[in-house]
Amino acid sequence: KAGVTQTPRYLIKTRGQQVTLSCSPISGHRSVSWYQQTPGQGLQFLFEYFSETQRNKGNFPGRFSGRQFSNSRSEMNVSTLELGDSALYLCASSITSGEQYFGPGTRLTVT
């Protein structure tokens, strides 16, 4: 079975731009969670989608949004990028409430 894939793997954007990151879960997995990892804050939960519905949301501003499609693929969007948004963005998938499998991450650099 293919693992969780994330695209793109690396991205450089300028302040004020917006960005869309994509996550394809393991086949059959209906839950996709997104996390942000920074040196200062560590790993933080962004949001979780299950069967196309947002099931939970972390403490991030409204500039961070996401969605999930009927095939369970998920995207997250960050609008009006700030320097502090530079981070490794990870997604993880699971069947329902079991073990989570992490993707390789997208490293976003905002200049």
| Residue 53 touching other proteins (CB under 8 A) | no
**Spatial separation of the C-alpha atoms in residues 63 and 78, rounded to whole Å:** 5
Report the residue number, 14 or 42, with the smaller CB distance to other proteins: 42
Report the residue number, 58 or 75, with the smaller CB distance to other proteins: 58
The H or E element containing residue 89 is strand 87-94
**Spatial separation of the C-alpha atoms in residues 91 and 5, rounded to whole Å:** 9
For other proteins, which stretch binds (CB under 8 A), given 18-26, 68-76, 77-85, 87-95? Answer: 87-95
| Residue 60 touching other proteins (CB under 8 A) | no
Per DSSP, the residues of 25-47 read PPTT--EEEEEEEETTTEEEEEE
Q: What is the largest CA-CA distance in the chain?
A: 38
Which two structure tokens, joined as six digits, stand for 66? 């996401």
For other proteins, which stretch binds (CB under 8 A), given 12-20, 27-35, 63-71, 77-85? Answer: 27-35
| Contact by Cβ (8 Å): 66, 109 | no
Candidate list 8, 15, 43, 84; residue touching other proteins; CB under 8 A: 43
Least distance (Å) between residue 42 CB and other proteins: 5
| Residue 56 touching other proteins (CB under 8 A) | yes
| Residue 25 touching other proteins (CB under 8 A) | no
